[in-house]
Amino acid sequence: MPPSRRTFLKGIGAISLAPALSNCSDSSDSGPASQATAIPPRPMPSANFDFPIVTELPFAHGVASGDPLHDRVIIWTRVTEEESSAPALPVKWQVATDPDMVNIVASGTQDALPDHDWTVKVDVVGLAPATTYYYQFSALGGLTSIIGRTRTAPDRDVSAVRIAVVACSSYWSSHWSGYGHLANRNDIDLVAHCGDYIYEFVDEDETVRARRDIDDINYVDYRDWLNLEEVRRRYALYRSDPNLLRAHQQHPWTIVWDNHDISVNFGNELDDSSVDASVQTTTLNDTTRAFYEWTPTRPVRADGSGEFVLVEDGSYPLPADPLKIYRKLDYGPMADIFCVDTQLYLPSRERPGVVADNTHLEAGNSLFSRPQYEWLTEAMLASQQQGKRWRLLINQTWITSDLTRWADYPEERQQLFEFLRGDNAAAQRVYNNIVVSGDMHGNWGSDLVEIDRPGYRSGGIAANPRNGSTPENAAAGFFRDTTANTAVDNARAASVGVEFAPTSMGRGGFDEIIANSSPDSTAEQQVAASRTTERALLNATPACQFAEPAPEGLLDPR
């Protein structure tokens, strides 16, 4: 009998950097490994090979999967060689129902090409809904990748969908134990990343680690990128982390970009380097191109409809427009998952030629731009009318606070909330909306309601009795201890849903502000200062129901 999913996870945890699990055929779609042809020795990089890798060549950045639908999923890998052995490298892929890769249900071959930075992305079709699958790649005479695990979306009602939410992951700021914990979980259907999956520069207050311990601002893996090749290399740096490798190996992901992912303006927070910033050639098309190459993201059509480009023949799924990313994942009657873009239409010199269309507003600017706004609102209303139980938005930054970029877009925020309250063509309220947002670098919970909404009231403020992840972080944060409702008054009826923001995957926030304002303070004093700030935030923001941006990253970088 094949091993269970739990047995698979336990085994992978012990051999997370092994090239593959045992009993995997390298020469046929099925059958025992003894039938395989002779496999050549794995190439060994020379001492001069200075490129971020984590497992053995040629699949030195592991595997990944993402954007699952009920009958298909994207699987990903990259072929890495010290010197390219051919202009195109055939890569075989297989998908099985068991971790031993015996019961093969789909297979094919795709060429790894330099034009795609040697990445391989396959839209695997013909799969069963709500089903766990295992997948593997092989190339160069039968050399195999590690085995990945993925899961398709349901098309019928299920008892639960469990989604892990992460944001703001800085390689230099943390050892990413959080990714390791995700990799050890056996009950996650999807990992959602809310943006800033990669960063372009090192934070001066978070120099926790450096590749090969080279903390030199002139070194390519410790400074801002200069061109497309260096953007691609940054993804390689991130995917050289064993915790991130395992988190991608174990679960399908859905990812949106934010400002750091697609930045084109050179800059560093560390001391000035000798690098001539004028030689930077990075464009928005470069950063978005690398995003699509290095993440298991399903491309969408160029028409702004949010509909997917579906590839049926196993060829590389190219984006019709690399600047389009908003899309929806259908998780059956349980949920629709919306991935939005609140970055691309910001008025900024970083995005020449990208102009937001605000003609859907009577006044004010648009952060969504009209095509995305209409796609989102129409799709959320349709989701409600179809009887979907939940609507989940993967969003880049906290929408219910004026501490974020949404402070400059109150008209669009209000129009969105009014639409969800029933100000739409169907005169129908859209219920059960959850927004998960990045960018806040702390733990937050909030109602989805405008600032100073008439008639809205929140309850009292109390200290959280639970502690944070470090001994110093006692009574971690504040929360509302009542609903403010009475027997005749629903004080929070104006809220159209709830919003949660997870802490960052290493990048600092309040910890830096507090530590920099009192550099000689103790960890306990920094936590006390954080408590004061948290209470003040809840007093100033009625919609906020929980806040805990304590300086845990500074206290415990691992």
pTM of the model: 0.91
Rg of the chain, C-alpha, whole Å: 24
User: What confidence score (pLDDT) does residue 551 get?
Assistant: 54
| pLDDT tens column, 257-284 | 999 999 998 888 888 788 888 889 999 9
**Residues ≥6 apart with Cβ < 8 Å to 71:** 125, 126, 127, 128, 129, 152, 155
Q: Which fold has domain 5-151?
A: Immunoglobulin-like (2.60.40)
Q: d(Cα 61, Cα 80) in Å, to the nearest integer?
A: 8
pLDDT band at 558 (very low <50, low <70, confident <90, very high): very low
27-31, 136-140, 266-270, 302-306, range with the lowest pLDDT: 27-31
User: What confidence score (pLDDT) does residue 1 get?
Assistant: 43
Residue 279, Cβ density class (10 Å: 0-12 exposed, 13-18 middle, ≥19 buried): exposed
330-334, 429-433, 489-493, 512-516, range with the lowest pLDDT: 512-516
| pLDDT tens column, 212-262 | 999 999 999 999 999 999 999 999 999 999 999 999 999 999 999 999 999
**Is the peptide bond prior to 3 cis by the omega test (within 30 degrees of 0)?**
no
Residue 230 exposure: Cα atoms within 13 Å on the Cβ side: 20
**Mean pLDDT of all residues in 549-557:** 50
Query: The tokens of 2 are what?
Result: 């094949």
Asked if residue 252 lies in contact with residue 65, where contact means CB atoms within 8 angstroms, the answer is: yes
Asked if residue 236 lies in contact with residue 52, where contact means CB atoms within 8 angstroms, the answer is: yes
For a pLDDT cut of 90, what percent of the chain falls above it?
Answer: 75
Query: The tokens of 447 are what?
Result: 């109602």
Judge whether residue 4 has pLDDT over 80. no
**Mean pLDDT of all residues in 439-467:** 92
Q: d(Cα 127, Cα 455) in Å, to the nearest integer?
A: 49
Which is it for the CA torsion 102, 104, 109, 110, positive or negative? Answer: negative
Judge whether residue 554 has pLDDT over 80. no
Judge whether residue 5 has pLDDT over 90. no
**Is the peptide bond prior to 58 cis by the omega test (within 30 degrees of 0)?**
yes
Q: What is the SS3 assignment for 226?
A: coil
Judge whether residue 555 has pLDDT over 50. no
**Mean pLDDT of all residues in 158-185:** 96
Judge whether residue 16 has pLDDT over 50. no
First-to-final CA distance of the chain: 39
Q: d(Cα 170, Cα 508) in Å, to the nearest integer?
A: 9
User: What confidence score (pLDDT) does residue 354 get?
Assistant: 81
Asked if residue 415 lies in contact with residue 369, where contact means CB atoms within 8 angstroms, the answer is: no
Domain residue extents for the chain: 5-151, 457-493+509-558
Judge whether residue 2 has pLDDT over 80. no
SS3 string of 134-196? EEEEEECCCEECCCEEEECCCCCCCCCCCEEEECCECHHHCCCHHHHHHHHCCCCCEEEECCC
Query: The tokens of 426 are what?
Result: 């169907």
User: What confidence score (pLDDT) does residue 511 get?
Assistant: 64
Judge whether residue 194 has pLDDT over 70. yes
Query: The tokens of 427 are what?
Result: 């005169």
**Mean pLDDT of all residues in 486-502:** 94
**Mean pLDDT of all residues in 151-165:** 97
Query: Where would I find the H helices in 337-457?
Result: 370-385, 410-421
Q: d(Cα 253, Cα 67) in Å, to the nearest integer?
A: 6
Q: d(Cα 82, Cα 488) in Å, to the nearest integer?
A: 72
Judge whether residue 552 has pLDDT over 60. no
pLDDT band at 20 (very low <50, low <70, confident <90, very high): very low
| pLDDT tens column, 90-110 | 999 999 999 999 999 999 999
Q: What is the mean pLDDT of the chain?
A: 89
Q: State the DSSP code for 408.
A: G
Report phi then psi at 23, rounded to 5: 60, 35
User: What confidence score (pLDDT) does residue 9 get?
Assistant: 39
User: What confidence score (pLDDT) does residue 507 get?
Assistant: 83
| pLDDT tens column, 353-367 | 788 899 999 999 999
Q: Which residue has the higher pLDDT, 468 or 102?
A: 102
Q: What angle do CA 316, 127, 122 make, to 5 degrees?
A: 10
User: What confidence score (pLDDT) does residue 117 get?
Assistant: 98
Q: State the DSSP code for 110.
A: E
Asked if residue 506 lies in contact with residue 173, where contact means CB atoms within 8 angstroms, the answer is: yes
| pLDDT tens column, 117-148 | 999 999 999 999 999 999 999 999 999 999 99
User: What confidence score (pLDDT) does residue 319 get?
Assistant: 94
Q: d(Cα 255, Cα 292) in Å, to the nearest integer?
A: 10
| Strand residues in 360-502 grouped as ranges (E) | 390-395, 433-437, 443-447, 461-463, 478-480, 498-501
Judge whether residue 545 has pLDDT over 50. yes
Q: Crossing angle of helices 177-184/242-250, nearest 10°? A: 30
User: What confidence score (pLDDT) does residue 311 get?
Assistant: 97
17-21, 368-372, 469-473, range with the lowest pLDDT: 17-21
User: What confidence score (pLDDT) does residue 205 get?
Assistant: 83
Beta partners for 95?
106, 135
166-170, 290-294, 319-323, 351-355, range with the lowest pLDDT: 351-355
Q: d(Cα 71, Cα 312) in Å, to the nearest integer?
A: 12
2-6, 213-217, 367-371, range with the lowest pLDDT: 2-6
Judge whether residue 24 has pLDDT over 60. no
